[in-house]
């Protein structure tokens, strides 16, 4: 082999420079994907469908709320009715005790000072009014 280039230690290597240039020059390509948008008619269709579903759901929920309110009112009225029935029973027992002829006779004789007259009929009670002097004494 013949010596043509001179001292090889002083000459730069060409392969390294070419590789550096290739690395710097390298370009990358990007692919941009553009998403297509929905047409306006389709967007409106979706919007009206959602609005219709929301309105129907609102109406159904409103009806359920009304039914619940009515059930609650019925329950309250039933409780009040049971309380009133218990009061009616108490009042009826009080009426029965107040209607008792023996109690009326004892009350009129002991508290009011009336005198009982003897009668043959046990259902009829006749009382005589005390004199006016005792009435005045009772009022004072």
Answer whether 116's CB lies under 8 Å from 126's CB.
yes
Say yes or no: 80 and 109 in one domain: no
Q: Is residue 16 part of a domain?
A: no
Rounded mean pLDDT of the chain?
79
Quick: pLDDT tens for 12-39. 556 665 655 555 555 678 888 888 888 9
Overall number of domains in the chain: 2
Q: What is the pLDDT of residue 127?
A: 59
Say yes or no: 87 and 130 in one domain: no
| Count of positions (residues) in the chain | 140
Q: What is the pLDDT of residue 93?
A: 95
Domain that holds residue 132: 100-140
Q: Is residue 14 part of a domain?
A: no
Say yes or no: 46 and 83 in one domain: yes
Q: How far apart are CA 124 and CA 48, in angstroms?
A: 85
Q: How far is CA 94 from CA 48, 91, 97, 108, in A?
A: 69, 5, 5, 18
Q: Is residue 3 part of a domain?
A: no
Q: Is residue 87 part of a domain?
A: yes
Quick: pLDDT tens for 47-82. 999 999 999 999 999 999 999 999 999 999 999 999
Residue 126 scores a pLDDT above 70: no
Q: Is residue 132 part of a domain?
A: yes
Q: What is the pLDDT of residue 117?
A: 66
Say yes or no: 87 and 43 in one domain: yes
Tokens of 18: 């070419």
Q: Is residue 55 part of a domain?
A: yes
């Amino acid at each position: 082999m013949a010596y043509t280039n001179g001292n090889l230690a002083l000459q730069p290597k060409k392969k390294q420079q070419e590789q550096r240039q290739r690395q710097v020059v390298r370009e990358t390509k990007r692919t941009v994907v553009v998403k297509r948008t929905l047409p306006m008619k389709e967007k409106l269709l979706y919007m009206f469908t959602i609005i219709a579903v929301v309105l129907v759901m609102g109406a159904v929920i409103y009806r359920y709320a009304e039914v619940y309110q009515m059930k609650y009112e019925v329950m309250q009225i039933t409780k009040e009715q049971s309380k009133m029935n218990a009061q009616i029973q108490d009042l009826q027992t009080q009426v029965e005790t107040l209607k008792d002829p023996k109690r009326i006779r004892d009350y009129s004789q002991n508290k009011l000072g009336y005198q009982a007259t003897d009668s043959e009929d046990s259902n009829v009670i006749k009382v005589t009014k005390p004199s006016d002097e005792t009435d005045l004494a009772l009022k004072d």
